[in-house]
Amino acid sequence: MVAYRSYCANYFLLVLLSFCLLHFRDRINRETLTLTLTLPETNTTAINDVKDDAEVVDRGAARINYIIRFVEYKDAEDHRAYLQGKIELGGWEWIERRNPAAKFPTDFGVVAIDESARTSLIEEFERLELVKDVSADLSYSRSVLAEGAGRVGAFVDGKKRPGKIFSSMSYSDGEYYATDISNSTISWNRHLLMQRYQVTSFFGARGLWEKGYTGAKVKMAIFDTGIRANHPHFRNIKERTNWTNEDTLNDNLGHGTFVAGVIAGQYDECLGFAPDTEIYAFRVFTDAQVSYTSWFLDAFNYAIATNMDVLNLSIGGPDYLDLPFVEKIWELTANNIIMVSAIGNDGPLYGTLNNPADQSDVIGVGGIDYGDHIASFSSRGMSTWEIPHGYGRVKPDVVAYGREIMGSSISANCKSLSGTSVASPVVAGVVCLLVSVIPESDRKKILNPASMKQALVEGASRLPDANMYEQGAGRVHLLESYEILKSYQPRASIFPSILDYTECPYSWPFCHQPLYAGAMPVIFNATILNGMGVLGFVESPPTWHPSDEEGNLLSIRFTYSEVIWPWTGYLALHMQIKEEAAMFSGEIEGNVTVKIYSPPAQGEKDIRRSTCVLQLKLKVVPTPPRSKRVLWDQFHSIKYPPGYIPRDSLDVRNDILDWHGDHLHTNFHIMFNLLRDAGYYVETLGSPLTCFDARQYGTLLLVDLEDEYFEEEIQKLRDDVINTGLGLAVFAEWYNVDTMVKMRFFDDNTRSWWTPVTGGANIPALNDLLAPFGIAFGDKILNGDFSIDGEHSRYASGTDIIRFPAGGYVHAFPFLDSSESAATQSVLITSAMAKADSPILGLMELGEGRIAVYGDSNCLDSSHMVTNCYWLLRKILDFTSGNFKDPVLFSTSVRQAAALYQDDNQLPSRRTDVDFSAYSAVVGKELVCGSDSRFEVWGTKGYSLHVRGRSRRLPGYPAIDLGRGLNSTVETSNLKRPQWTQRNKDEHSANNFFGLLYRDELDMPVLVASHWLVPALIAVTGSFAFLKLLANSAEAAPA
């Protein structure tokens, strides 16, 4: 009877989850971001020459592979029969996948679709009730580099390499051969190599080996290039599987063998961490280093079905919107597989985290050298999912040695590699060793992706010269993590658990700019780790507990994920100092607490509860004068993904996508630091221009912006400058439609055209914004060197100024126009001909305000900067904010007696062949101030009228009217908390895991990173359906 009740409860849970899935299906279809690629129309094929044209025609005649995802797991044959019974149109066929996962139920299929019938067939497929979505079968590629080679990414000389966009991986430093020669010099050299490269000794692995912990009975999945069957470095290769279209299980490249050696090698000269670990080698890359999403999905499903414990994935790329791949990662970790992945080799640039390592449920690993310094190649945070309309999370989670690490080679010798794809298996080996510490009977009760990450980040050793977005929690400390796991009890926690404004450089950028009254909210986005269960909930809104009366000067609002799945969620603090603290100087300390609960574990009756604590220590200064306050427009920035946003400098041929975030704390972090050192306070606006009070700021800084503008923004900015005295500084970028068309390329793997959706900046939109001031940019692409007052700079793919009022100051220099428009002109430009002067810098006073415009932003962007122009930015801000006129910039020789003017038909035009609404936060959207604006305008259209008011005055602190509304002491988000109704203690069982049987219908919260939660529920549904089918299969199997 108990078994029957358990079965019924489980069945009812599955039905209920399926209903939730159907309930949210329309919302999913509406909210899922558009694919970044546009397929070619048959009548608009554009090619460079006749040969290319023939190739494109030939490609167009072939079929394209698509992944069809279903809402439930079934045998592949059942899915095929379902589609064939529902789809009457021809032009498609089911592709049979012959791999080890074929014997298990699946949640997707691969079909080949005739390109001519693509649109109609995809529409028919997506109308089906049991079809979740349809997407191209993307191809992954990576580069395992040969010795002496430079880093190679997805683009070479401006052309895309085969495969999905992925970062470069390992760097080869050489191979070291075992020898029987008894030459003392050779023996000594070998000894030195062993001492230098035995990475296990740096973590004290021998201490655990001597206790008998060697990774025994830990199932380790290595997703890589395979491994040789009889390789002498490994004692426990349990299974090798091939998921590619090549008929081999062997590793012909050596990367998979190397990764396995770091994790579980037993050879003395290149020891692994856990030599008794059971190796399951998943060959997911071909010899050409190419893989497809469908190969990964099948392999992931097989890893779930065969109950892997740990999975290492030493790959990554910038596309966190490849939903089939990303959601399968969620499903994988939801099934209690601990995933470790490399954070990327795109350092030292910021905002370059790779997916899936940037996901909160994955242990993302960065690299350090043997001096405990962040390796130059290691990608830096923050995560960029959340921007421009929020703030990123701390990543990597931890760092480990990743330079010149010794591992196994194909030839049964040892070799060294460098890269975060090497640091990743170092941590994976540590994880395998730690898993073996826990008795096998207790592992699933204690160990999960959250509890393992808790042990790693809480045991890590913080590096003294790196910030949190470089090192995460710090260097992995095996023995400290071992001590934590020995006495671990399931609990929830917050990472990072401390935000201390007095601790630099770790707390950069927060420690570099104090808080003050009247500023935009400072957002800190922390991660909730829930070791109590795969599913958790926030029991009550987070609470701020100041340590003393002065702590009440801080007002905090919270946004957070009420549903914590899988294993993790987020907690974002939006912090403002109240107006009565306008003259306060000092520190504010206290704690933020949030209560988390999870359903009872198997065999338990009581709900699991835990209180998480985040310690705050904030530095507060008096409100700076208006002339020292600069506001950075983040709202109008668009990056890859979801669209093909091209790099600002067209001279950069190997990294053509703009994917680093364009944020003050990512690729503009050096500029931010220099402005702070110069005494400026720089705030971020992630909402429309109607959402800030212009009276509080000296300058609005617009740099490299790609989005459109609301009409209300244009009108307000005009009033802000002319009547309110706001300074305006604009750094534009290139924009040329002919060049954008030329930049598109056909991707053989997705069989799609990649076309830029805009230029380096959206010049037509900027011209609309600047039109009330009589200013406009052109469509030239200018390159060249110039000098102002002895400062030499490089103009790198900048644009020109074609409208500017009389009386303004305009600087022009002789540059060549490299745009496609100029190339098609009939006049040939030779080196012997004089270059035409092009206006690039303009400054003017207008009404109460001041304006400066410059046609290039590359000199502020640390990603691919040729020369910096920070000196120019300083002079511009001195003018726009403080009305100080540099005598060189305002020389009478550059004052315009007559206005620069070109007719409207000469202005750059918008592309008509791009649906910009798919990428824009403006086109087709409603103007509203978000949670990154001042509290008093959240959810409104902004400062249409100046809001005035006073806050409650604390004893001893005078109230100063800053022209804003009231702030409450503690503000919480308006999210509804899921209600858990305990009907009867006897009703609790392991089958009631989700708790949806005992609570009201789940409300979807408003998220800072909102695009993950709805797919999460879908993935949960698929996971439990899959596990149920496996259980039924096991019960039906003969003894």
**Count of residues for the chain?**
1039
Cα angle for residues 793, 794, 796 (degrees, 5° grid): 145
CA nearest to 423, candidates 341, 479, 329, 361: 341
The span from the CA of 428 to the CA of 450, in Å, is 15
3-state secondary structure of 802: strand
Sign, CA dihedral 373-378-384-388, equals positive
The span from the CA of 282 to the CA of 301, in Å, is 12
- Strand arrangement, sheet containing 414-418: 171-176, 414-418, 405-408
CA nearest to 236, candidates 278, 205, 193, 292: 278
Query: Which residues does the annotation mark as catalytic?
Result: 224, 255, 421
DSSP-based helix, strand, coil % in the chain, nearest 5: 30, 25, 45
- Residue 986, phi-psi category: left (phi > 0), alpha (psi -120 to 50), beta (remainder): alpha
Locate tokens 């994917």: which residue? 659
Burial class (CB in 10 A: 0-12, 13-18, 19+), 903: exposed
Q: How far is CA 73 from CA 12, 97, 112, 478, in A?
A: 17, 16, 21, 39
The span from the CA of 438 to the CA of 487, in Å, is 10
Enclosing H/E stretch for 1022: helix 1013-1036
The span from the CA of 89 to the CA of 921, in Å, is 37
What does the longest C-alpha to C-alpha distance in the chain come to?
96
Cβ(115)–Cβ(100) below 8 Å: no
Q: Which residues pair with 556 in a beta bridge?
A: 575, 970
Sign, CA dihedral 311-317-318-324, equals negative
Query: 167 is written with which tokens?
Result: 């970062």
Query: 581 is written with which tokens?
Result: 């603290």
CA nearest to 686, candidates 1022, 1026, 334, 392: 392
CA nearest to 468, candidates 416, 538, 527, 419: 527
The span from the CA of 364 to the CA of 340, in Å, is 6
Cα angle for residues 166, 169, 173 (degrees, 5° grid): 160
The span from the CA of 302 to the CA of 296, in Å, is 10
- Strand arrangement, sheet containing 492-495: 492-495, 522-530, 568-577, 554-560
Long-range contact set of residues 994-998: C-beta below 8 Å, sequence gap at least 24: 994/13, 994/17, 994/535, 994/599, 994/1020, 995/535, 995/537, 995/599, 996/13, 996/16, 996/17, 996/20, 997/9, 997/12, 997/13, 997/16
Q: How far is CA 386 from CA 86, 359, 525, 533, 932, in A?
A: 39, 12, 10, 25, 11
Alpha-helical segments (H) within 460-545: 468-471, 478-486
